[in-house]
Chains A and B, each alone.
Chain A
Amino acid sequence: MSAAVVATLFFAGCSPKDGDIETAVKAKEASEVSVAVTKGEVTLTGEVADEAEKAKAEVIAKAEKGVKSVVNNLTVKSGLASLVPVVIAEDAALIKSVADAAKDFPTVQTTVKDGVVTLKGEINKSSLVKLMQQLAVLKPKKIDNQLTVK
């Protein structure tokens, strides 16, 4: 038994709280959700019934004390994907990810409200495609592109 304890401590060595977070999150998640924690970053894997379950699992993990970020790698059982509602990113997360994406487009002003990303300012054609591609993967409700294309 002591060997197991030593092994646990050893693995948790660089960040002693990861093991505690993992145990706590596991206890709250559905049984099909696997939980791994590294330096406060929680990774969720496994297969759940629908997008709602997937989103719920992420909310549970994020609510845990000590969790810095959550990587949601849960997959949804195939065949249901086209029937379940589209998951839209929360504004708080979206504001951050849109700012990251728009950082290298200084002529573009972005605002985020209720999942809608609004773009104002001007941009050249080749940059527009790049920007739109980066924004579309952030799970916005809508991209309201009011940019003037040069």
Chain B
Amino acid sequence: MALQDKYKALTDAATAAGISGLAVREQDGVLYVDGTAADGATKDHLWDIYNQIDPNFAGGDLVLNVNVSVDAAVTHAKVITESSNLNIRKGPGTDQPIVGKAAHGEVITLVNRSNDLWWLVRTNDGEEGYCYAKYLEPQA
């Protein structure tokens, strides 16, 4: 229970923020906090608290698995790479061949988000394939 005490500020904040499906479990010396946040700001807030309790996340005793919910009605996403083009791949994985590129800042069509990490997209040129979801920002 010591870990739950250590991260109490975090789990309290998660409860207060209305994280859906919140689960707090301790197993083999690691605390697992899972759930879905309503927006990115809520998720970042929880990560700020995590960083305050465990500076630079060096403790290795927490896995904070909080996703941001995406409205099912969203059909487009913006490419939010640092500056480069985003690879579009034949399948979900960096071991898959590149079938196209989406420009930084381009807004492309979301075809399928059933895979959490790799979303199936279509560019305005009609190229279709998988992109790493972290570089796509759903457009309301």
With A96-B95, A100-B117 in contact, do A136 and B30 touch (Cβ < 8 Å)? no
Q: Which of A13-21, A25-33, A58-66, A81-89 contacts B (4 or more CB under 8 A)?
A: A81-89
Residue A134 interfacial (CB < 8 Å): yes
Cβ–Cβ contact A68 & B91, under 8 A: yes
Interface secondary structure of B, over-half rule: mixed
In angstroms, Cα B89 to Cα A111, docked, is 24
Interface secondary structure of A, over-half rule: mixed
Interface size on A, residues (CB 8 A): 38
In angstroms, Cα B30 to Cα A103, docked, is 26
With A82-B23, A143-B57, A143-B60 in contact, do A129 and B93 touch (Cβ < 8 Å)? no
Cβ–Cβ contact A73 & B114, under 8 A: yes
Task: Give the interface of B toward A (CB within 8 A).
Answer: 21, 23-25, 27-28, 30, 32, 34, 43, 47, 51, 56-58, 60-61, 63-67, 82, 91-95, 114-117, 132, 134
Task: Give the interface of A toward B (CB within 8 A).
Answer: 41, 43, 68-69, 71, 73, 78, 81-82, 85-86, 96-97, 99-101, 103-104, 125, 128-130, 132-134, 136-147, 149
In the complex, besides A137-B67, A137-B116, A149-B56, 19 extra interface pairs with C-beta distance below 8 angstroms are A69-B115, A71-B114, A71-B115, A78-B21, A81-B23, A82-B25, A85-B25, A85-B27, A86-B27, A96-B93, A103-B94, A125-B56, A128-B56, A132-B47, A133-B43, A137-B65, A137-B117, A142-B30, A143-B60
